[in-house]
Amino acid sequence: MATETRASEGLDKYLELIEVRGVSRRTFLKYCGATAGMLGLSASQGGVIAEAIAAEADNVAAARPSVVWLNFASDSGCTESLLKSSYPSAAELILDTISMDYNETIMAPSGEAAEKSRKDAMEAGGYLLVVEGGVPTKDGYGMIAGMNMTAILDEMAPNAAAIIAVGSCATFGGVPAMDPNPSEIEGIQEYLGDDFTVINLDMCPVNPRNLAATIVSVIVLETVPELDEYGRPLIFHGQTIHDNCERRAHFDAGNFVEVLGDENEGKGYCLYKVGCKGPMTHSNCPDVRWNDRTSWCVGAGGPCIGCAEHGWPDEFAGFYERLAGVKIPGIGGVEAGADKLGAGLAVATAGGIAVHAVATGVSKRGKEDGGSE
Ligand code: SF4
Ligand code: SF4
């Protein structure tokens, strides 16, 4: 009871502080409730998350959870996505509770001082390793401070408590790995192999709400969300965009945009005929949206190009080319294609893995390689 009272006082104090920063109590508590929902928890768990974040923020004496963010082969769009969420957002407050010890794009130190930050974090161990971009495996392609990116990943992965690959380049190679893939880029899980568990947060770029919720899960709740067969959290990638699309009623009614920019686009008609890959793309985009849930690709009138899906972009039709194999209401005829792909994407579980289990897997490899735990 005494602990509960102290925690509530701590939360009260934190809520007062964030109001000064322009985030109302209501916004923050609503955000925590929504994050609990995103993680598949009950609404009451939102209060637990809020209390834990407040306690983390208040605990200035303790070291904040360390995050090392590596930038590999990408356009740094995921860092941009994170930074350009409106300021100050509730998501940023969560990110404030961590210590971003290394991120080349935004950190103040450079050169040897930056390298020292990375090495210090590596030696301390137990950090959350976030990787943006694929890893070029061809020798001499993709170097930082004179080291191949492969060597940097080899150094940083074994001592991490958990590893998150953000954006389609880090998850499965993305645009930099497109055929003919001259620098032989691989996704982070593919490169590290089965000794490591990588949480794949797909999309180009990563959605900051999905990232913040995953950080809450890993750091605050100490749990890796249940993953599908591609290492993506099921809570974010368990359903197709088509399942939850706001234009779906028009699809079912046979109302389609025939040419991008026609009057039916503004009426909210379905974008399937102008290339929408929503029927084969598993992602929560219609719910999380972008720019603090203002809008999203399909909502803004652009067909989904499938950036959250394994195999994107090589295995997808052109951005505006019609997806084969979708049964169109009133026209009929199911071909192999989207339905077949959808079946192939049936989920497998790696769920409920505690963070310490990830660390155990990681340290196993570290020991075999003679590295530190
Ligand atoms: S095809 Fe695309 S625009 Fe049409 S309902 Fe499905 S996801 Fe929405
Ligand atoms: S709607 Fe489609 S293209 Fe847009 S972010 Fe989501 S998966 Fe990517």
Domain boundaries, the chain: 1-62, 64-236+349-368, 239-346
Q: Please, what is the end-to-end C-alpha distance for the chain in angstroms?
A: 38
What CA–CA distance (Å, rounded) separates 285 from 278?
10
Q: Which residue has the tokens 């959350």?
A: 128
Cα of 248 vs centre of ligand 1, distance in Å, is 6
* Lowest mean per-residue pLDDT among 29-43, 109-123, 193-207: 29-43
Q: Do domains 64-236+349-368 and 239-346 have the same CATH topology?
A: no
Give the pLDDT mean for 47-55: 81
Which numbered atom of ligand 1 lies nearest the CA of 272? 1
Question: Above 80 in pLDDT, residue 254?
Answer: yes
CA within 13 Å, CB half, 282? 26
What CA–CA distance (Å, rounded) separates 110 from 231?
33
Q: Which of 330, 320, 327 is nearest to 259 (CA)?
A: 320
Question: Above 50 in pLDDT, residue 269?
Answer: yes
Q: Which of 231, 138, 229 is nearest to 176 (CA)?
A: 138
The pLDDT score that the predictor gives to residue 349 is 27
Cα of 201 vs centre of ligand 1, distance in Å, is 22
Q: Of the residues 209, 285, 295, 309, which should be mutated to test ligand 2's pocket, given the most ligand atoms within 8 Å of the CB?
A: 285
Confidence of residue 277 (pLDDT cuts 50, 70, 90): very high
Cα of 261 vs centre of ligand 1, distance in Å, is 16
Q: How far is CA 275 from CA 23, 120, 154, 220, in A?
A: 39, 48, 40, 40
- 269 Cβ closer than 6 Å to some ligand 1 atom: no
Which numbered atom of ligand 1 lies nearest the CA of 276? 2
Cα of 103 vs centre of ligand 2, distance in Å, is 26
Q: pTM of the entire structure?
A: 0.80
Cα of 277 vs centre of ligand 1, distance in Å, is 7
Confidence of residue 15 (pLDDT cuts 50, 70, 90): confident
Question: Above 50 in pLDDT, residue 41?
Answer: yes
Confidence of residue 228 (pLDDT cuts 50, 70, 90): very high
- 28 Cβ closer than 6 Å to some ligand 1 atom: no
CATH number of 64-236+349-368, picked from 3.40.50.720, 3.30.470.10, 3.40.50.620, 3.40.50.700: 3.40.50.700
Mean pLDDT taken over the chain: 81
Q: How many CB atoms lie within 10 A of CB 337?
A: 15
- 278 Cβ closer than 6 Å to some ligand 1 atom: yes
Q: How far is CA 327 from CA 301, 340, 346, in A?
A: 22, 12, 20
Q: Of the residues 265, 304, 309, which should be mutated to test ligand 1's pocket, given the most ligand atoms within 8 Å of the CB?
A: 304
335 vs 54, residue with greater confidence: 54
Q: How many CB atoms lie within 10 A of CB 121?
A: 21
Coil, helix or strand at residue 270: strand
* Residue range 239-346 in CATH 4.10.480.10: yes
Say if residue 338 is exposed, middle or buried (CB neighbours under 10 Å; 0-12, 13-18, 19+): buried
Contact yes or no for 156/118 (Cβ under 8 A) = yes
Closest-CA residue, ligand 1 atom 1, reads: 272
The pLDDT score that the predictor gives to residue 330 is 55
Give the pLDDT mean for 113-126: 91
90 vs 212, residue with greater confidence: 212
Say which ligand is closest to the CA of 285. 2
What CA–CA distance (Å, rounded) separates 160 from 2?
35
Ligand 2 site residues (CB inside 6 A) read 203, 241, 281, 283, 285, 296-298, 304-308
What CA–CA distance (Å, rounded) separates 119 from 364?
20
Residues composing the chain: 373
Contact yes or no for 90/120 (Cβ under 8 A) = no
Tokens of 271: 């974008």
